[in-house]
Structure formats: structure tokens, C-alpha cells
Amino acid sequence: MNETENQNKYSCGIAPECFPCVVNHALSAARFAGLNEEQAKGIVEVAEAGLKESENSAILVQHVVRRVADAIIKAKGAPSSFDIYAEIKQTSNLLSLDYVESLQKKMENSISPLETGLQIAAAGNIIDFGAKDHASLNLEKELRSLENVPFTRYDLAAFKTSLKTASTLLYLCDNSGEIVFDMLFIKQLQREYPDLEIVAALRDKPIINDATLADAKTVGLDRLVTTISSGSIYPGTILAETTDEFQDIYAAADVILSKGQGNFETLLPLADKRIFFLLRIKCDYMAALSQVERDSLVLMQAPDKAAAEL
């Protein structure tokens, strides 16, 4: 099944507002990977071609980002499994682990440990080299400011109501480093909902700094809950392009917690009320879709079909 056929369920094409960000990401990624200027120009052309194609097809930003990554890997003469961001992902994981003790104490001393865990998990979504220029993200500074970002959409009551009767929770992970903060929240979920079965899904193949099963093993997430590959090779979850195993787990889940902008973009059109999106809104287009201010945190239950087609 090709990309266009797979997107029949989704909103068409790529929003014009996303074009500059996609091109900037391509150039930034090419330079981060150590390509020369001529090679970087070729990578930008790959992105621009994908954007042009999207004007008459239903391919998504995630497809273009994958094409860009594959083009960079090819330009470097590396194997297809090569992880462009391996070193910085490892740094993100290890640096985030340094914050576990202090954040755990913060949760324990909180009036509502669950809500504090939610804020920690959401604020951890800052660690995203897809949404920022690689040179502009000061990871240490961002991590120190975790508790200073407010929620401006907070569907907590609906989330708790869903959890009360849930037997299974599918937790869709996003970035490396960020999964450390997800672990803190998951531990609190396990304390408050001891009978809840939690499955964490990660990317199948390295893409930007998204977390894979290897990252889950590095931080110990695999020792906390069942971890699986979603089968996604994209910075998001395009359901039709995931594994049969993942689709079965998705279909059976009572509640789905979706982390990050890539998952938000790809799953929002499904209008599945089981989904709760937990993320930091990082651009004006996503702010318009979620109807909140840019750079704020949201816990948002998936809207109905009409809202999803904004």
C-alpha cells in the first residue's frame, strides 16, 4: 500500500504553514549530520519536492521527514539503520535520568501526585529537535524550567473518568529523554490504578530524536511496563502503516495516551475519543488546531469529527 492510499483516512496534504518548518528541519538535520553545503542543498531539495507533491496528494509531514532522513543516510553512505541523532539521544536519556530523584520527590510532596506527574510528563515534551533548530535547544536550561510551563487545556476530569473503568492503557511515547519523565508518570499511574495494564509503544526505526525500543532499554522503561514497537518509521503514528500487533493492541485499548506533536498530528484526524493528547504546543498551526496558545501544555481528549477537521 503506498503513502497516498494509506492516507485516505486523514486530512489531505500538508498545510502551507508547515512548509518553512519542514525546509528548515531538512537543512538543520543535514548540517547536524555533517553533510557539506552541496549535500545539504540536495537534502533541502528532497524536502521541497515532497512538499510540492503534497499539494496534489495526501502525504504528510511525517512522510517528508522520513524521506529527508533516508536521503541524509544515503548521502553519508551509511546503512539504512543508521541513527543520525544517536549521540544526542543518548545524552538526552542520561541527562534526563539525572532529574529523576528530584522530580520523584516533587511528586511525592505534591497535593496531587498524579497531576504533578502529568505536568512532568507533558513538560518533558520540550526535548524535540524536530520542532526546534538543533543549535537553539539548550537541553540543560529547558529541563530546569520543566515546572514553569502551564496547562491551558486540561481535560483531567475526562481522563480520570476513563481510567476508572479502564483495564488497558496504550501509552504512545515520543522522544528520547522525554521517556524518562513518562516513566515517572507511569509509576504514579501504577500506584493509583494497580489493576491497569499499561503497554508503551515506541518507534520501529530511528527518526529525528524519537524514542525506540533501544532507548526504552537504556532508561529502564522495558522493566516497568510491556514495551513494543509500533512499527512506525515516522515521527508520528500513521495507523495504517503500523504493525498488525500494534493495531490489535490499539483496537483493544480502553484508553490511549498520545505523547507529542507527531502523534497529535497523525492521530487527531481519527477523532477517537479514547485518545488523550499530552504535549507541548510548539507551533502556530498546532495552536490553532488545539485552540490554545503556543508553547503551552495540553491534556486534550480527542475531539469529535467536526473539530478534528479544523
170-198 tens-digit pLDDT = 999 999 999 999 999 999 999 999 999 99
Tell me what pLDDT residue 5 has.
Answer: 40
Residue 310 has pLDDT above 90, yes or no: no
Asked whether residue 135 is assigned to any structural domain, the reply reads: yes
Residue 137 has pLDDT above 80, yes or no: no
Residue with cell 520542532: 131
Q: Are residues 63 and 96 in the same domain?
A: no
Of 261, 244, 250, nearest in space to 174 by CA = 261
Q: Are residues 14 and 158 in the same domain?
A: no
Average pLDDT of the residues in 147-171: 92
Q: Are residues 173 and 47 in the same domain?
A: no
Report the sign of the C-alpha dihedral through residues 68, 10, 292, 166, in that order. Answer: negative
Residue 90 has pLDDT above 60, yes or no: yes
The confidence band for 99, taking pLDDT boundaries of 50, 70 and 90, is: confident
Q: Are residues 181 and 217 in the same domain?
A: yes
Residue 49 has pLDDT above 90, yes or no: yes
Total tally of structural domains belonging to the chain? 2
Look up residue 267 and give its three cell numbers: 492521530
Q: Which structural domain range is residue 294 located in?
A: 86-308
Q: Are residues 266 and 212 in the same domain?
A: yes
Residue 111 has pLDDT above 80, yes or no: yes
Look up residue 57 and give its three cell numbers: 496528494
Query: What is the value of pTM for the model shown?
Result: 0.90
Return all residues near 215 (Cβ < 8 A) that are at least 6 apart: 89, 93, 176, 179, 202, 221
- Mark which of 20, 46, 76 sits at the end of a domain: 76
Tell me what pLDDT residue 296 has.
Answer: 85
